[in-house]
Structure 1
């Protein structure tokens, strides 16, 4: 979980993003139990109502499901899980484009630099690919 929450967006939105990132990275598996709302609030040092709001948002987005009084679990719906990955990637690409467009780089330059940097990161990570 982020050690410090930023002040630009609500904490519950940051909690949702964190879990989406963990799901997309495979750190949270389909069907895996989530911590209780109270437990997560205590671990993060935030209000339980904030965690409740984050869980509610994730349930609305079909990322989590809760059956009766059982713990909430990560969805097993592969379509939803794939969509999370695409959403995060699109968000990152849009942010990147907004940052580089003003400096007037061409698409070809961007593609070359991304490929170069991606391969460099792989080398530094011991050859692992995402």
Structure 2
């Protein structure tokens, strides 16, 4: 099994999901090989919930990392979950369109996309100038 997918699966155990019962884990690898993991953390006010990808990238940014090469995402259902639109845009703020996004399908299977495939024509800093 892919090492990043395995780490994404492991961190699911830390998820706080009393409302959806849908634990998600993410493992984000920097270009220097450092891996940051995150899990979803739900809140009764759903808009205040944190997604696994956001938690992982926030930790990496907090520790000074700005270059990323690969992200793995896994849900306990092993259903090939992809980052939601909000997470895709957050990733696009810090990652280029070549970032590999590996989505766990279960039984050792995974589908790999690029961030550019998942979020074409992203909103960029240049568009806001």
Q: Same fold (TM over 0.5)?
A: no
Give the TM-score taking structure 1 as reference length: 0.32
Larger Rg: 1
Give the TM-score taking structure 2 as reference length: 0.32
